[in-house]
Amino acid sequence: MKKPKKRRKKRKQRDFGSFFFRLTQVAMICILLGACYLFYQTGYIQIVMELHAEAQKVMENSSIEDFQANQSGEIYDVDGALIALLRNDKNIVYLTSDEIPKLVKDAFVSIEDKRYYKHHGFDPFAIVRASQSLITKNSITQGGSTITQQLARNIYLTHTVKWERKVEEIFIAMALEKKYSKEEILEFYINNIYFSNGYYGIQAASQGYFSKDADKLSLSETAFLCAIPNGPGSFDPLVHPENTLKRRDLILENMYKDKMISKEEYEQALDEQIVLDLSRNSFTRTWAHIYIYDCATRALMKATGQDYDTCHEQLYTKGYRVYTSIDMDTQSLLQQTIDEQLSDYNTLNPNGTYALQSSAVCIDNETGLVTAIVGGRTQEDILPDYNRAFMSFRQPGSSIKPLLVYTPMLERGYSANSTVIDSKEEDGPSNSSGRYSGAISLRTAVEQSKNTVAHKLYRELTPEVGLSYLLNMNFSSIDEEDYNLASALGGLTTGASALEMTAAYATLANEGVYRLPTCITMITDMDGNIITIPDSESQQIYESSAAHEMTNILEGVLTRGTAKGKGIPDMPCAGKTGTTNDNIDGWFVGYSAYYTTGIWVGFDSPRSTSALSGATYPVDIWQTFMTSLHEGKKSQALQD
């Protein structure tokens, strides 16, 4: 007798439930009809149609490039070690779909959009689930927006909370699903979502927070990172790690319930301690970096035919991999040598920088590529952005003489043993020593840096001819006013950079063949496709015989001349000092068979100091650096 009663009770419950369901359906239909009527009466339907048309137009112009913009690039030194990231407003290190770990995909689908592979861009069930969660748990564990909607919002729309934006978001999401596959959309989404602290995409976040690639993340670390995009401020792991961990646990729970991971994996991931590793972000920025950026931009200009500004912007947004000739050990050695040699002079400029400065460049003679470039002294709180080595132009003094006077004259019948007259002329310059030797060899004139001889020979050569050699070696600041005899002694209106001077002396070391200085060996895209391998732009500037003889003469500068005793022990080398009027600038540029290095020392705001000349700080820096650089190298003659 009792059992039939129970069945009747259950039947009554089912009938009531069925009635309630029908009533709910009728109510929803009425609400929908009412909403449509109101939309029609108020003109909202027209707005919706316009939003739909606008969404279609957005999709017509859509391309994969929309989702691959603002990718972070990478810079590598001569040994292939990563030395810098190229970042713009977005730090995206892009991964293709097959490169994104499955755990990452599963984590986002589980927590953000469970029906991702079933809906077509918009999921009304997700809104119902979010509402139900808010009512029953007083919190939203999964949002109402699909992954596709979030992508549409992040790429094409703003985050302004307006109904119009939400409607257009849905239209764009649905159009996205028609144009791209689910795998493509998930790839775009995972690469473009924000992980706080300037990181966009899972790879940038993984490198930033754990100093490793995404495919090396553990399950727990994966869930930890995937927790951040839901609220980059609230779940910032550097500020609110406890919040990030809490959401990590929620993601793991979702993945377990969705049977994406086993119970054992779930429990192990919960127990795993998260330890951040920010070391990948602690690249030491050197003076070489700003030079690398400039060289890379110019290489892209030549490869693409675009202007400097466009290529410079693309350098930070296209995800390029830039490979360079910079040797970080050599860079560090050159920087350390300059800092130590000038350590006693700590007077500051009004802007807080050291008053006495230096710049230097080292070129590998075998390749013609820059291996180190220093644009100033190391100083805390001063960014190495203004690289004097290629941005600053100073009068080169006597270091210019071999380039635009003596080597050209060796091409015109003079030799090291030619007799020249060292005597003061009424309208001519004085020698820095105040002494005049009468008839001497050209070799001696170079070794003793006789201004009188250089002036006379330059008058014979003419400034037009002499300066043409500098122009052919891309000296960029030759002025019309430089076409006078004063330029023979380095009296240039603007001057020359340490980079220009070093590349010119490397020309003498390379049998008179000039190679345009750069530090770029190759640029590829993010997939390893070659964008450019810069050709070595070379030009025969001096006859090889003249370059050989000039080298032989310059060897004497370090054994008998103005830089006597400043050579590299047990290593043949050549070079020339340079000092401008009133001891304002000091230079030494010299080379071995292996390297050419140029050193400048002076004040940013030119002023005289009696302690400065080419034979003091510049040659001391050069000798100390070059001696260390050549340790363990076999002695090699400058002439074959």
Among 295-299, 388-392, 425-429, 586-590, the range scoring the smallest mean pLDDT is 425-429
40-to-44, 48, 53, 55, 380 alpha-carbon distances in Å: 6, 10, 18, 21, 66
**If you average pLDDT over residues 225-233, what whole number do you get?**
94
Of residues 568 and 136, more confidently modeled: 568
Between 148 and 62, name the one with better pLDDT. 148
Q: Binning pLDDT at 50, 70 and 90, where does residue 473 land?
A: very high
pLDDT of amino acid 123: 78
259: alpha, beta or left, given left = phi > 0 and alpha = psi -120 to 50?
A: left
Model pLDDT for residues 302-357, shown as the tens digit of each residue: 999 999 988 998 898 888 999 999 999 999 999 999 999 999 999 998 888 999 99
Structural domain contains residue 71: no
Phi-psi region of 547 (alpha: psi -120 to 50; beta: other; left: phi over 0): alpha
> Domain range holding 255?
93-281
Predicted local distance difference test score (pLDDT) of residue 26: 60
112 included as an active-site residue: yes
366 is catalytic: no
CATH number at residue 165: 1.10.3810.10
Among residues 72, 74, 110, 112, the one annotated as catalytic is 112
Catalytic residue selected from 72, 145, 398, 449: 398
Place of tokens 């200085």: 517
Q: What is the pLDDT of residue 1?
A: 42
Is 127 strand, coil or helix? helix
Q: Structurally, how many domains does the chain consist of?
A: 1
Residue 217 lies in a domain: yes
What pLDDT sits at residue 443? Answer: 98
* Band (372; pLDDT cuts 50, 70, 90): very high
Q: Is residue 207 part of a domain?
A: yes
Answer yes or no: pTM beyond 0.85: no
Quick check: 33 pLDDT over 80? no
> Which has more confidence, 265 or 153?
265
Share of the chain above pLDDT 70, in %: 86
pLDDT tens-digit series, residues 154-179: 888 755 556 566 777 888 888 899 99
| Model pLDDT, residue 383 | 85
What is the chain's length?
A: 640
- In 159-296, DSSP assigns E strands to 199-200
CA–CA gap between residue 590 and residue 408 (Å, rounded): 19
Sign of the alpha-carbon dihedral angle for 390, 392, 393, 396: negative
Span 253-273, mean pLDDT? 97
Residue 213 lies in a domain: yes
Evaluate whether residue 214 is within a structural domain: yes
Would residue 127 count as lying in a domain? yes
